[in-house]
Amino acid sequence: MKRDFLSVSDFSKEEVIEIIRYGIELKRNKFKDRTISGKSIGLIFMKQSTRTRLSFEVGVYQMGGQPIYISGSSTQMSRGEDIKDTARVMSRYLDGIVIRTFSHKEVQDLARYSSIPVINALTDYLHPCQVMADLMTMYERFGTLKGKKVTYIGDGNNMANTWLIACGLMGIDISIATPEGYEPNGKAVLEAVELAKKSGAKIELTIDPLEAARSADVLYTDVWVSMGQEGDKDKKKVFEGYSINEKVLSEAKDRCIVMHCLPAHKGEEITEDIFERYSDIIFDQAENRLHIQKAIMSFLFRNL
Is residue 21 flagged as an active site residue?
Answer: no
Is residue 255 flagged as an active site residue?
Answer: no
pLDDT for 81: 83
Q: Model confidence over 28-84: pLDDT tens digits?
A: 999 999 999 999 999 999 998 999 999 999 999 999 999 999 987 777 776 678 899
Catalytic member of 222, 256, 260, 285: 222
CA dihedral 153, 155, 160, 164 (to 10 degrees): 70
pLDDT for 230: 59
Same domain, 145 and 96: no
Catalytic member of 167, 261, 284, 285: 261
Q: Please enumerate in sequence order all residues whose Cβ is within 8 A of that of 279, keeping only pairs 6 or more positions apart, or say none.
A: none
Catalytic member of 33, 108, 124, 130: 130
Closest CA to 169 of 1, 5, 8, 6: 8
C-alpha count within 13 angstroms, C-beta hemisphere, residue 81:
15
Catalytic member of 51, 62, 104, 127: 127
Helix or strand or coil: residue 150? strand
184-187: long-range contacts, CB 8 A cutoff, minimum separation 24: 184/156, 184/157, 184/160, 185/125, 185/156, 185/161
Closest CA to 245 of 262, 228, 270: 270
Residue 72 CA to residue 221 CA, distance in Å, equals: 28
218 occurs within a structural domain: yes
Asked if 240 and 204 touch (Cβ cutoff 8 Å), the reply is no
Same domain, 226 and 89: no
Same domain, 265 and 204: yes
Give the angle 117-118-122 at the CA atoms, nearest 5°.
155
Same domain, 74 and 212: no
177 φ, ψ to 5°?
-110, 120
234 occurs within a structural domain: yes
Is residue 285 flagged as an active site residue?
Answer: no
pLDDT for 221: 98
Q: Residue 16: give its domain's CATH number.
A: 3.40.50.1370
Q: Please enumerate in sequence order all residues whose Cβ is within 8 A of that of 224, keeping only pairs 6 or more positions apart, or say none.
A: 154, 155, 235, 236, 239, 242, 265, 268, 269
pLDDT for 211: 98
2 occurs within a structural domain: no
Same domain, 32 and 173: no
Task: Identify residue 143 by its one-letter amino acid code.
Answer: G
Catalytic member of 100, 104, 260, 291: 100
Is residue 265 flagged as an active site residue?
Answer: no
Residue 224 CA to residue 238 CA, distance in Å, equals: 10
Closest CA to 4 of 115, 79, 87, 127: 115
pLDDT for 235: 87
Same domain, 144 and 157: yes
Domain span including residue 215: 130-285
For the chain, the distance separating the N- and C-terminal CA atoms, rounded to the nearest angstrom, is: 5
Q: Consecutive 10-residue runs of the chain (304 residues): their mean pLDDT? A: 97 98 98 98 94 98 97 72 92 98 96 98 98 98 98 98 98 98 98 98 98 98 79 82 98 98 97 98 98 98 90
1 occurs within a structural domain: no
Is residue 62 flagged as an active site residue?
Answer: no
Same domain, 122 and 152: no
pLDDT for 74: 72
Catalytic member of 51, 104, 260, 289: 289
122 occurs within a structural domain: yes
Number of domains in the chain: 2
Beta strands at 203-206 and 173-177: parallel, antiparallel or unpaired: parallel
Is residue 289 flagged as an active site residue?
Answer: yes
